[in-house]
Structure 1
């Protein structure tokens, strides 16, 4: 009987020992890699969830704040219309006073409603009798309306009420005489305690932040900070120097200007008013919560590693009794090698571009044709070729050519398409796109987008026929109706190839169809 001589028992044991050690190292490495991925992914997921919470909460509070201010604005507009209609004469003031008291009672956010004449004297208030010699002409909002004819709502900085001492936000409108001259000021004051109560409903953690800010950076109210932060200007914060300039709402992580704590922020501008709501979650608290959630997983991973090494130890100790399994292990190893080679042969992904390769393209096209014929639906095929690619390789080299193909493949992937569309590298500098169920218009739309996407890359190509000397593509398109006898792979590819050559012959950087 012929064959390889049996391994010496000591040599067999040594080989198995090496294999087992390698196996343990691989398993340990895999566990560590998976653990690292879980750690990073868990943190990123927590940050994303926190950003979503901050964004949603800021938008919700912004809408609530906007509704509160809008109710006051509508009330002031109605009062101004009534004043214009009935006047401010002494006999009309009891009626206006009752109206102000009624409106204040209907809006919980109001601290008070006031009417001043052109000299700043109190005429009517929602508090009842007017105090003698009361004058507010020194207030910033009064001086603003004296010198500005803007009829809209004006939001001033937070002040202390002279009647109660409470912190209030003045919302005011100008009153005009019939000739447009200054008649006085109509004032509504919002209670800071109203926003203190609203903001207090939300659990942001010990160092969470929620603030209502004027878009010039002046703070109207910030939780959980003392009232001394009110009217403080934080216009140097990234919120005002960068974020609001890019978008009216969003999320970002930065260091708060108020206390220097790094937070995950969400922010939202009010649509009708120059106000911004921002919500921030303390990043250190996020790290603590993340580590707490992850601690059990890490302990389990350590236990798993201990189990793996314990099993390895017992296996090594019993190797002397399992030498005869060496031949079977070699056979299994050979089968695994064959299976691995088979899997590599059957790989369906192009190694350069990451797109589907030719084999996957052929399989998917056959399946799509079968489905199109069965359901009698159209099937579109685009054959795409990089223009003058040989010249590109000759000019810039094959490494640059490979990079060019990868960028073209990425551009095709970014073109809007459905989940059942397939974008493949057909071979060399040629690509193909299968669009199941797509009519001619939809396929042409994809082709035009692909032309624009590749041209937008702006890849330099000095020997290109294109005027801009950049890399371009040409596309051949054919749409085949399902259920026809000539609906075969060869016919579809042939027609699309024909259209591609027509596009090439017509000047490149274009789409043609048959």
Structure 2
């Protein structure tokens, strides 16, 4: 009954756990919603950046190919003009023919803005725009570059204002040298910066999107948004230029522009033939504008879902709160039942006065250990203990003092019986019983003698006793059940005979039953 009551008693406690479980579940669900939203928003941002980066790289590659093609055309035309000059010399007829060919090329090739040739002093002798006698280019950087060297490579110079047109142009030049390397002058092609700007500004890159055509040394050749100061700005310290000059010809990078301080996503592509590159950039803010709208929508949905889960959780918690009050009442009822069960069990097995096992418990336990000892062939000892002259003690000192004496005797006996399996019980009235499994005769007698001595040491006054104090007489029997005695009753009877023998011999002693 007691165990069943305990199981019933535990139910209300288990029933209280759903509140904690519900709170944990709500927190878990909300955390999962927020975490999954954060991860998805982060993934979506990465996708948006990757898409914008790929678009910038593709556009940069196309524009670099276009610029390289233009430079190649200029390189080819200048090479042809220099070849004609070498072949025909510097005579008037050849100069006239060179001018005619140059103007024809300008007419047919839309990429070139002008073609020029100057002698070793910088004086023009060919100009598709303006009169040759009016201008000299000896002060130009490109002229001085060729004057100091003898290479045949195309030199791409910094944008300058053309002396013949007054417009910003990109200079593409090649040196004219004699067979022995003597400097004879410069052949020059110019490209309109405005033409590049017009092309670059037509691209759908947003208000602050830019396209930059630059040299590897950081010189800006053309920019979709520019002024005169732009072409004096050098971007050689840009991480993009550093990466290109370290061998990375194409790629992407996100950085803040040196020219205007705007953070952009750059796609870049460098020419393998000429020392130029094209960078196409979109403001990071513009690239992520659509993503931000999606992110706001996703966070709005997530927060609404979290709010909904929270409200549902609160409603369920309120319902559980009402159930909790009922559970408390049920818990109290089960507790009362458990207490009652425990009390009933105690009453069923324990003597109310001494706290020892009662007669009912003794009979059941003795029968059990007797059967086990008979099956195992092990010894069993049993002792009956009687308080000497107890009727006279009650008559002289009263029943209340008598009960107290029995309690103290019982406590002394129980203190000595420390082996597992030993049992001290109240046999009836002033008689006690001791069950000692797996104990032979001599150890059993020794244990009984300890009990007798312990009671005497209590020193409880008893004037009606021959010993002037409370003592006990003990009858002990020990043997192997089934061999030395056939039944429990036979064993108890032997102990009872030994007890009477102890009383007959003067009390306050231990007597072992003869088998």
TM bracket (short chain): 0.5 to 0.7
Deviation at 1:230, TM superposition (A): 1.0
Q: Is the 8 A contact 2:123 2:133 kept in 1?
A: no
Match of 1:302 in 2: 303
Q: What secondary structure does 1:220 align onto?
A: strand
Shift of 1:11: 5.0
Once the two structures are TM-superposed, the CA of residue 44 in structure 1 deviates from its matched residue by 2.1
Match of 1:291 in 2: 292
* 1:168 Cα deviation after fit: 0.5
Q: So what's the TM-score if we normalise by structure 1?
A: 0.57
Determine the C-alpha separation between the residues in 2 that align with 1:38 and 1:142: 58
Distance 1:276 1:99, change over 3 A: same
* 1:30-429 matched pairs, under 5 angstroms: 30-127=32-129, 130-242=131-243, 244-317=245-318
Change in CA separation of 1:178 and 1:225 when aligned onto 2, cut-off 3 Å: closer
Q: Deviations over 1:280-314 (max 9, x none)?
A: 23234445443222111111111211222233344
Q: By how many angstroms is 1:99 displaced? A: 1.1
Displacement after TM superposition at 1:9 (Å)? 8.5
Matched position secondary structure for 2:264: strand
Q: Secondary structure at the match of 2:113?
A: strand
Answer yes or no: is 1:27 the counterpart of 2:29: yes
1:35 is paired with a residue whose SS is: helix
2:114 and 2:191 in contact (8 A); partners too = yes
Distance in 2 of aligned mates of 1:216 and 1:320: 75
Residue deviations 1:49-82, cap 9 Å, x none? Answer: 2222222222222111111111111121222222
RMSD, aligned α-carbons: 2.9
Cα–Cα, structure 1 residues 161 and 7, in superposed 2: closer, same or farther, change >3 Å? Answer: farther
1:13–1:319 Cα contact (<8 Å) kept: no
Aligned counterpart, 1:346: none
User: What is the rounded CA distance, in whole Å, between the counterparts of 1:17 and 1:251 in structure 2?
Assistant: 54
**Gapped runs of 5+ residues in structure 2?**
328-515
Residues 316 and 132 (structure 1 numbering): CA distance in 2 closer, same or farther, change over 3 Å?
same
Deviation at 1:167, TM superposition (A): 0.4
| Cα distance in 2 for residues equivalent to 1:96 and 1:80 | 9
SS in 2 for 1:229: helix
Secondary structure of 1:190 counterpart: strand
Partner of 1:480: none
CA contact (8 A) 2:154 2:174 kept: yes
User: In the aligned structure 1, how far is the partner of 2:143 from the partner of 2:292?
Assistant: 54
The structure with the largest alpha-carbon Rg is 2
8 A contact 2:198–2:224 mirrored in 1? no
C-alpha deviation, 1:5, in angstroms: 5.1
Q: 1:28 to 1:7 in 2, by over 3 A?
A: farther
Moved more, 238-247 or 41-50: 238-247
Q: CA deviation at 1:218?
A: 1.4
Q: Is the 8 A contact 1:215 1:274 kept in 2?
A: yes
Q: Which runs of 5+ in 1 are unaligned?
A: 327-514
1:6 offset after TM fit, Å?
5.7
CA distance in 2, matches of 1:18, 1:178: 96
Q: C-alpha offsets along residues 307-360 of structure 1, whole Å, 9 cap, x if unaligned?
A: 22233344445559999xx9xxxxxxxxxxxxxxxxxxxxxxxxxxxxxxxxxx
1:17·1:316 contact (CA, 8 Å) conserved in 2? Answer: yes
Q: Residue 230 of structure 1: SS of its match in structure 2?
A: helix
Whole-Å Cα distance in 2 between the matches of residues 112 and 96 of structure 1? 13
CA contact (8 A) 1:115 1:186 kept: yes
Are the aligned partners of 2:118 and 2:187 in contact in 1 as well (CA < 8 Å)?
Answer: yes
- Residue 12 of structure 2 is aligned to residue 16 of structure 1: no
> Displacement of 1:193 after TM fit?
1.1
Q: Give the TM-score, by structure 2 length.
A: 0.57
Q: 1:285, 1:269 → 2: CA distance?
A: 25
Distance 1:133 1:244 in 2: 41
Matched pairs, number: 323
- Cα distance, 1:157–1:309 mapped onto 2, change above 3 Å: same
- CA–CA distance in 2 between the matches of 1:146 and 1:11? 99
SS in 2 for 1:162: coil
CA contact (8 A) 1:177 1:183 kept: yes
Does the CA contact (< 8 Å) of 1:210 and 1:223 recur in 2?
yes
Whole-Å separation in 2 of the counterparts to 1:295 and 1:278: 31
Q: How far apart, in 2, do the equivalents of 1:81 and 1:93 lie? A: 13
